[in-house]
Amino acid sequence: MKIFDLIVIGAGPAGSTCATLCADAGQRVLLLEASRFPRDKVCGDCLNPASWPVLERLALTERVRGLPSTSPEKIRFSVASAGSREIPIPASKIASSELVVRRRDLDELLADRAVEAGALFQDGSPVTALHRTAGFPGTPAGWEVITSSGDRLLGKHIVAADGRNSVTARFLGMHAARSHNGRIGIQNHIPHPAGYDGSLEMRIYRHGYGGLADLGNGLANLCLVANAGEMKELRKEAEIHYGLSPACAWRSITPISRATARHVARDGVFLCGDAARVVEPFTGEGISYALRSGALLADILNSCKFGSKMELKPREELYRKAHRDLYRNGLFVNRLTCLLSEHPKLAHTLSPILLKYPWALSFLTSKVITM
């Protein structure tokens, strides 16, 4: 049976970042991923500028910029039957600003980087069970991880980066008991709508909200978010607005928001990215928080030698605190949009007021699109 210092479950931005930085530091890392890569996923494909420092640490900035992508120059806020307002992104900020890049490309690059660092990457390997086991040299307990193909793997520590529906958190009871309100998100890559100018578009509909982002080559990413009972109507609104066929196929995901995990670290299992905390999609910050929490966790795991029981508790405590701090101050606009999007009628009534005050839209945008 193979033994690893660290088994990372999930090769999204959080898992691949943590795997890379731990493998770079000399840990024996196994990165397990349920899907076969490359794969698309439900996401707006927008990379917030706060991601760049982590990409720089991963030595990936040039390679990310080399992926097919666009840098939007304007953000257009629109409200169904109330008009729209455009906010230009200052030219000086465009080069280091928001990037629209397809998740299948970004995530594949991040996973490749983990392999280059020395991690063993096993895609097409969903984890189906894990339990504690005793008896590693120098440590009284570790974890046995079982995949759908029946592989049994041993890790001294586990990083659960398996997304908002983390099976790891569920198996181990680490999520909060009541954790979400039943909203869903759907996503599609569509041909540019007629007259589309490549702006990043955020739209408040009567039944929810949506975002359109230019991927280049005539393709755009369209995401919609609504309460489950209103998605049919929202989809109809968007289909009419963008001239889409009702027959086009969408990817879907739920939940959209979730309370922070009850335990982000316990017994040698560490949650990061969406598995630990989900942020509202409207502001396009989820990838950057996933990257940053993956890097934060790697720093803590690398700060002491693996395997000593004495070191485990303080390390878990350190991560709990650092994780809280990471999310504490930066999410003002995100929390506001979360609140409004849970009440679409209220959002649709209040949003036209914002359109009258472009300085307010600029201020809110600057709180989100910032280095």
Ligand X SMILES: Cc1cc2nc3c(=O)[nH]c(=O)nc-3n(C[C@H](O)[C@H](O)[C@H](O)COP(=O)(O)OP(=O)(O)OC[C@H]3O[C@@H](n4cnc5c(N)ncnc54)[C@H](O)[C@@H]3O)c2cc1C
Among 5, 24, 33, 105, binds ligand X (CB under 6 A): 33
42 binds ligand X (CB under 6 A): yes
255 binds ligand X (CB under 6 A): no
Q: In terms of CB distance, is 250 or 352 closer to ligand X?
A: 250
- Binding segment for ligand X (CB under 6 A), chosen from 40-48, 193-201, 323-331, 353-361, is 40-48
| Residues 300/216, Cβ–Cβ less than 8 Å | no
| Residues 235/247, Cβ–Cβ less than 8 Å | no
214 binds ligand X (CB under 6 A): no
Angle CA(19)–CA(24)–CA(29) in degrees, nearest 5?
40
231 binds ligand X (CB under 6 A): no
3-state secondary structure 143-195: EEEEECCCCEEEEEEEEECCCCCCHHHHHCCCCCCCCCCCEEEEEEEEECCCC
Q: What are the helix and strand counts (H, E) for the chain?
A: 12, 18
User: CB of residue 90 vs ligand X: minimum separation in angstroms?
Assistant: 21
44 binds ligand X (CB under 6 A): yes
> With contacts defined by CB under 6 A, how many residues of the chain interact with ligand X?
39
Q: In terms of CB distance, is 280 or 312 closer to ligand X?
A: 280
User: DSSP assignment, residue 255?
Assistant: -
347 binds ligand X (CB under 6 A): no
210 binds ligand X (CB under 6 A): no
The residues with which 77 forms a beta bridge, in sequence order, are 85, 202
Side-chain half-sphere of 295: how many Cα atoms within 13 Å? Answer: 17
Q: Give, as ranges, the residues between 7 and 26 that touch ligand X (CB under 6 A).
A: 9-15
Give residue 326's identity as a one-letter amino acid code: L
98 binds ligand X (CB under 6 A): no
The residues binding ligand X (CB under 6 A) are: 9-15, 32-35, 42-46, 48, 126-127, 161-163, 167, 185, 187, 223, 225, 253, 256, 273-275, 281, 284-288, 290
